Each structure stands twice: as structure tokens, then as C-alpha cells.
Chains A and B, each alone.
Chain A
Amino acid sequence: MYSNIVITRQISKIKCLCRSLVSIESQKTPQSGASSDGISPPVRIQRGPTDILQALSTTVGIDPTAAHYKYHDDPYLIPLSNYRKRAYALAAEAGRKAAIWIRDEHADLFTTRIWDPPLRKKTPYYNADPKIEAFSPKPIYNDESKVTEEDLIYTIQNALIEDSIKVYQLLGGSQGVSDELKLQLLQLLCFYNEKEPDSVEWLEERWFSANTRERQAATWRLGSLADTIFTSMEPKSPEAYCAIIQGMAKYYQAERAYELSQEAIEKGIPLSTGVYNALLGCIGFLREGATLRIEALKSTLMQMNEQGLSPNIETLSACLRSISVWGGGIQLQNLAMQLVAEFRELGIQPGLSAYYYLLCLFCKERGPRNNILSKILTDLESRERLEVNEPTDTNFFITAMGVCSDHLQDINMAERVHALLMKNNNYKLVGDAYKESIYYRHLVTVACRHAPFEKATEYLDTLIPNIYIPEPSVMEEIIRTLEVAGAGDRLAQAWSQIIVFGHAKRTKLVERLLSALCNCYEYQEEDVKEKIRSAAESILKHGETLEQRDESRDQRSPVSQKLSATALSNIIELLSDVSDKSSERWTSVETALNKLKQEQATGVPSKPESISTLAEKAASMGKLEIAATAVAYLAECGFEEAAGASARVLGAMLNRPEEEVRALLQEPAGALAGSLHPAALAVLHSYHLAKTGTAIRDSESSTSSESDSESSSDED
């Protein structure tokens, strides 16, 4: 802290100190270079008020373990799914809007800063000292307000469309307003097409608004206020013509724009570069067929040249935008490359929008592979800063990453794109939340598919869950990668991640996870196996809670799908791998098995041998009912393994070798009924069911000759 200490003595010492400080300071600054004569210090660099803070902030990198700073730093308030991220940010902004509304409604209460008694008030209305524009109430215009031309200037400067229209009408329309103000209002209305733009103040709204791509359809309002103002202006100045033509062209009212431009040229009114840029964008509406359109493009450029207007960077991107919309094909591609080369000769480097359109044109998904992206990246990496000229610049990075992922399938290119995005201040070029999620979706997909496993896990660890939360399709991709690499630990974690991200209701995803867990189960270590088992149990319980919730809601059609039989059999297989007889896993196994038996699962298991292994294991563990149920289920479904399985299970239950068991099974069933344990009896039932396709009771009631014939038809 610098206090106002006045040094009255030892001025000479202070002078030496200051001189040395100045020279030290200037020695530290690299930009000014060496001093001119070696003795006197170089010129001091002027620092802004926040320069030191900015320099300090560049030394601090991103912390991937922390949530975005717009979220409050508290475990209850940190969002962990896409829905919550959006909800929390927009809720905070809604609160801010409410506060601003209160401030503007009761403007007389929010104008003081010093709470003085009335005697001390310095000015009648506003005595906040200093007056801070950001905190002062904004005027509201309605039918009773008294307005002057200054209000119109204020609303036009701040791009408040509805307010400016209101003020204009209050001032008396076309008669009461001066010409230059009319021109300014016309420019404002043409730029925004009389629709209120998203306010600059509300950041989160703009960030989360999934801007549906503006359809290339005529949306200009015919006969609107802009048209009336234009017609009322006499004489029509060049700026007015430029404004209205550009506005119409921007909103795809192509014919009117073209007519007006021809009118202007006939009258000899000079038009600006911007007008021609806008007209270049409309050519697609006026002509059909690639050749005609190319001719029209060239003729417009020639016209521009005749008028003596030099093209700029927007001309290039307007041309390329039109070309990319007209489709593909060698002709258009060659034209695009020609244009880029010519503009480069003129000294105009293509901007990010131009590169975006080039990528659209060349790297179609099903087209031949094209390496234009690497040249583009080399050019962009060599530039010091990436400048933003147009709103479509934000599309470049997501398209580049999409090309890396779908078209090129190259991880090195993807890393180059990502490094370019992270350099300096370029992260703002990612656009809005929707574009950011698409960008990271492509990045994670290409990393999972084509990068070595360590690199992929590095990306996953840094990005999830704070920077990016994967959608269900990307989650499947991640599960597949983890399965291939055999990372059982991470797969077990994936289940808890699925719940947190809110994807737990997607049965397909859960089943995919289960099959992945089954596939890589055997190669894991013991503690990882334990984690996998608890994950499987949790999945089962989660399915049950979902079903209960559905029932309690009493809906006509159940919201959540039940787990399929394959999934249940996977769960059973995983859970039954315990060596401990009294583990609670067996109860879960029983629950799952009962579900299967009672046909609460869709379909049939794709791997019935897992159920037969379960049956044998259960029998050897002494869980006879489980074994019996399993075998009965197999028999009912009609699997081939049922017979063999039931024979083995019976052997395990009765603790006799296999030949004895077979002999037992040959005998008529009635004789054994009394002497066997009920579970063993059930196994016997299912054996016969499997063998003969009918239940034992029927065969008992039949004559002995039938049973003989049945036993003779045994395949064993």
C-alpha cells in the first residue's frame, strides 16, 4: 500500500533510489529493447490499471479439478450434469434480472450513495458520488414518458430496438425527427431486422442459447418501419441505400435487394464494399445451377471493381459462404481455391470464417480424404493472434475438430487443433455452450478411437466432469475403449458416473456397460472384482427403485424400460463369483434369478451357459433353491444346456458321481419322488422337461408303455 508519506529529508538518497528503480524496472521489460546510448534508460512502458493482474493471471493455468468459476464453490452447488450446469447458470442470471428490474422500477430509491440528511444533498436527483453508469437505473420508455432527441440517440447507441421505436413514435414519426437521426435509426433497424437482439449484459443466456442455425430463407419484414423510413427520406442518400440493401441482403430478401442496387447504380449513387459483400451472399437466391451462379459471382466482383471499391476480408468470406452453400463438386472447389489465391495476392489473408467455409466445401463426410486442414492449421499457427471479424468465426473450431474425428480420424491433427484453441486467448472462439459440447464430443471420440490408451485416459481425466460431460453416445464410445483396454476399475467407476450425469435411465447404455464388465471380469485383480460386483448389485437395485417409482406414479405406460434378460444374466454371472457362502451377493443373485423366472425381463439371455454355470456353482455351494430355479428356468426356455446342466446339478446335490446320476435319471420319475430333497426333485422335473418337452406330471399319468417309449427316445 502506498501511503501519502511526505519525505522532507534525504532527498538526494531518494533521487538515487528512484533512478535505480527506474533502471531496474526498464531492465525487466523485454519489449523496449536496449537503451539507445547505453547509459540513459529506455523509455518507460505505460501500464494500464489492470496490466499487472493480467500478467499474473496468465501464469495460472486452468485447474481441471475445479468447476467453472461462474458456479459457487460449494459441494452442494457444483453441477455435475449438463442439465444442472444449464439450470444453475440460468437461475443465477434470472436472479440478476429480477434485481435489475426492481432497480429500474424504483429508480428513485437507487440513486444515492451517501446517506445524507436532506440538508447535505448536493444535487436534486442524483447525488451518488461518483456516478457509476453500471449501477444507475436505466430509463424505461412507455406511453407517458417525455422524450427528447437525446433519448433517441441514447437508445440507438445502446441498440435498444423496441425503446427506440417507441421514442421515435413519441417524437412524432418521420416528421419530428431530423434526417441524420432517421438515417441512424434506419441503420439500426436494418441491422437487426427489428428484432430485439440478445442483450450484451446477459452472458449466460447468450452462452446457453442453442441458436438454431438461421435458415437461409427470406425473413425480412416487408413493409416494416425500415421500409417506411426509407421511402420517407427525400432525397435518398447513399448511406440510406447502403443500409437498406445490406439489411435486405442479410435477411435474404434477395430480389428486392438486387432491384434496389440496380436502381442505385442507375441513379449513379455510389455503393460501398459492404453492399457488394451482402449481394455476394444473395446470389444463390437469384440464380440456379452451378455455372450460372459462378458467372453471377464473377460479374458481381467485376462490378465492384468497376465502381472502384477494393475488396476486404469479408468479401472473401461472403464469396466462400455462397460457394459452400451451393454444394460440392470439383468446379466449385477449384473456384474456391482460385479465389483464395487471388485474395492472397491482394494481401488479404483468409480469416477463420473463410477457413470454415473451405472445410465445409472440401471435407464432406463421405467424400474423398482431403488434407487441407493441415495446411490451414500451419497458417493459423504461424499467426500471432487470431482475429475475430464475423460471428461465423466461432464455427471454425468445431468444424475442424469434427473433420479430425469423422473425416480424417487422426489424433495428431486433433491435438494440433486443441493446442491452437488453448493458445493465448483463443478459447473465446469456441462459441457458445452447444458448440463447446460438440467440440469436446468430437475430441473425446477421436481420442477414444485413435489415441493410445494413456492419452485417452489423460483426456478423460482432465475434461470430465467439469469441462465436458459426455452424452450417452459418447459414453458408449468410452465404455468400448475401456473394455478393449481391460480397465475394470474405470468401468466400475463408469456406473457411478452414469448415475451422476443423469444417464441412468437409458437402459441400452446400462446394458452395454454390463456386458463390458462381464467381458473384462476375469482378468482383473481381486479388489477390482469386488468393485465390479458392487457396481452390478447397485445396477440391480437401481432398476428395482425405478420400477417401484413407476408403479407408485401409476402411469399408463411405464417410463423406464426394464433390464433385458441378457443384462440380468450378466449381473448374475458377475455376482455369483463369490467364494463366500454367506455373502449378501447371493440374495441379490436370487432376486435377479426370480426376476428372470417371473419373466420380468425382456427377451432371453444370449449366453445361457452362464446360467448353467451358476446352477452348478450354487449347487456346490449348497444353495439348492437357487440351483433348482436356475435349472428350471433353463428348461422352461427350452435351452439345450438344460439337460446337461440339470444332470450335473443333480450330481452335485446328491453328491454322487455322474454315472449313478444318469442311472437315476433313467428310472421312472414316480419312484424317486418320495426319496429326494424337494430341490433335487425340482431339478429332476426340469431335466425331464428339457428332455421330453413335457412336465413330469403328465408323464406320470400316462401309461408305462409311453414312458418306456419316451425313455427310449432319449438322446443321452
Chain B
Amino acid sequence: MNTSVAKLAQISFRSINFTVQGTPVLASELHTSAPLCRVVSGKYRITKKRDKPLTYEMANPPHYIAHRKSWNSWNTSSLKDGLRRSETAVEDEFIRRFMTGTWHGLVCSEVIIKRQFNHIRVAAIMRRAVSPTKMYFLLGYTEELLANWLQCPVTLELQTVDSFKDVVFKYI
């Protein structure tokens, strides 16, 4: 919910890069930018019955990032000489969808992704809805599949919580 909006920038008009063979390469790169649509993005409407549960992350709108919130994706791609900015963003999105799909209905928080060298650490809070044996199966499966897909070591760091109510911050 709170990843900054990705913006497709087509630089074809301003700088057309020619490769050695002379074929034009369209440098369409994904950029990660400051949040757009700042009035409505990342904010939740108050309900009549005041029973919509919000986690702490959801409750704090985007202008609180770096004040009361921190980021969900940690990597060095936005530093000077940082590499693979767009590929990292796509991989992160893949990891998030994979986690939500594999641990279906069990993920109670945002998926945090931290990269250190080539080691990817994925963290999330899960509900204790399935037995520990099943959780271990999903754990081994996710780690192995993501590692083979992304071709780097992946570790999962999960925390379990009794029910979704334990991560609710306020009701709106």
C-alpha cells in the first residue's frame, strides 16, 4: 500500500541511445519517485460504523514516512552508483505478491524486504491459523522457490501472532 508509485519514464524523445549496431534502444526504465496523488494515496476513508481495522502502517499516511514510519523495501539502488534500480523494484513486487499468495490469508502486515549484498531477507507477521507443520512446509517452499527464482539466497523472518486483532492499531 505504501510503496511509492512507480513511474514509467520514456526517454525516447530526449535522448535516443544508439548501440554499436545502430539499432535504437528505448531506455524505458522504471523510476521510483515521491508519492503522487498526495491527497488520496495511502489514506483511508472513515466509515460510518467506525469498524474498519487499520494497522499502524495503514493508519499513518505517507507524509509520516521517516517520521513515524519507515520504508518497506531496503536496498542500495537509490544511492549514487546504485545498480539495478528497476529490476529490484520489479523483484520486490514479485516477492510481495508471492508471499501474499503462498501464505494466503495469513499475512497480517506489510512484507518488508531487506537486501544485504546478495542476501534477501523477507519479513512479515503471520496469523497462527495453520498448524506449525504446515507453516514449516510453506517456509521451506517459499525460501527455496524464491532463491531459485531470484538466484540469490533468501531467508524468511516471520513472526506469528494469534489473530489479526493483535496488529490492529485503530478502527476507523
Give the interface of A toward B (CB within 8 A): 72, 74-77, 79, 84, 87-89, 91-96, 98-100, 102-103, 110, 113-115, 119, 128, 132, 135
Contact = CB atoms under 8 A, between A and B. Distances in A.
Contacts of B59: none
B22 interface: no
A135 B87 contact: no
A77 B132 contact: yes
Contact of A99 (B90, B134, B145): B145
Contact of B141 (A88, A99, A114, A132): A99
Given A77-B132, A77-B135, A91-B133, A119 B25 contact: yes
Contacts of A128: 151
Given A77-B132, A84-B132, A115-B90, A72 B158 contact: yes
Interface in B87-141: 87, 90, 128, 132-141
A151 to B, nearest CB: 22
A88 B145 contact: no
Give the bracket for the number of chain B residues in contact with chain A: 20 to 34
A96 B144 contact: yes
Nearest to B118: A132
A72 B137 CA distance: 12
B128 A76 contact: yes
Given A99-B142, A119-B25, 9 more contacts: A76-B160, A77-B135, A92-B140, A94-B137, A95-B144, A99-B148, A102-B145, A103-B145, A115-B90
A92 B151 contact: no
Contact of B149 (A79, A95, A110, A119): A110
Contacts of A100: 144, 148
B159 interface: yes
B87 A115 contact: yes
9 contacts: A72-B158, A74-B158, A74-B160, A88-B132, A94-B137, A95-B136, A99-B145, A132-B151, A135-B147
Contacts of B136: 72, 77, 88-89, 91-92, 95
A132 B152 CA distance: 9
A98 B140 CA distance: 9
A96 B141 contact: yes
Nearest to B87: A115
A74 B144 contact: no
A94 B160 CA distance: 21
Interface of B: 23, 25, 87, 90, 128, 132-145, 147-151, 156, 158-160
Contacts of B156: 72
A138 to B, nearest CB: 11
Nearest to A130: B151
Contact of A91 (B23, B25, B140, B148): B140
B133 A88 contact: yes
A94 B25 CA distance: 45
Nearest to B150: A113
Given A92-B137, A110-B149, A132-B151, A76 B132 contact: yes
Contacts of A89: 136
Contacts, number: 77
Contacts of A98: 137, 141
B66 to A, nearest CB: 23
Contacts of A88: 132-133, 136
A497 to B, nearest CB: 19
Contacts of B160: 74-77
Nearest to B86: A115
A114 B87 contact: yes
A132 B148 CA distance: 10
Contacts of B149: 110
The 7 closest A-B pairs by CB, nearest first: A95-B140, A95-B141, A99-B144, A92-B140, A99-B145, A91-B136, A95-B137
A89 B140 CA distance: 9
A79 B132 CA distance: 9
A99 B140 contact: yes
Contact of B137 (A84, A91, A110, A132): A91
Nearest to B147: A135
Contacts of B25: 119
A103 B150 CA distance: 12
A91 to B, nearest CB: 4
A131 to B, nearest CB: 9
Nearest to A100: B144
A20 B25 CA distance: 51
Contacts of B141: 95-96, 98-99
B159 to A, nearest CB: 6
Which of B23, B87, B139, B140 neighbours the largest number of chain A CB atoms within 10 Å of its CB?
Answer: B140
Contacts of A77: 132, 135-136, 158, 160
Contacts of A94: 137, 140
Nearest to B159: A74
Contacts of B132: 76-77, 79, 84, 88
A87 B147 CA distance: 23
Contacts of B151: 113, 128, 132, 135
A95 B142 CA distance: 8
B144 to A, nearest CB: 4
B143 A96 contact: yes
Contacts of A115: 87, 90
A77 B160 CA distance: 8
A100 B160 CA distance: 26
B38 to A, nearest CB: 30
Contacts of B128: 76
A115 B149 CA distance: 11
A29 to B, nearest CB: 27
Contact of B140 (A74, A87, A93): A93
B135 to A, nearest CB: 6
Contacts of A84: 132
A128 B144 CA distance: 17
B139 A95 contact: yes
A133 B149 CA distance: 13
A135 B143 CA distance: 12
B148 A110 contact: yes
A568 to B, nearest CB: 35
A134 B19 CA distance: 34
Which of A75, A76, A89 neighbours the largest number of chain B CB atoms within 10 Å of its CB?
Answer: A76
B159 A91 contact: no
Nearest to A104: B148
B133 to A, nearest CB: 5
B143 to A, nearest CB: 7
B80 to A, nearest CB: 11
Contacts of B145: 99, 102-103
A109 to B, nearest CB: 8
Contacts of B147: 135
Nearest to B132: A77
B168 to A, nearest CB: 19
A627 B158 CA distance: 56
Contacts of A103: 145, 148
B79 to A, nearest CB: 11
B28 to A, nearest CB: 9
A117 to B, nearest CB: 9
Given A76-B128, A110-B149, A135-B147, A92 B139 contact: yes
Contacts of A79: 132
Which of B135, B138, B142 neighbours the largest number of chain A CB atoms within 10 Å of its CB?
Answer: B135
Which of A95, A98, A114, A135 neighbours the largest number of chain B CB atoms within 10 Å of its CB?
Answer: A95
B54 to A, nearest CB: 24
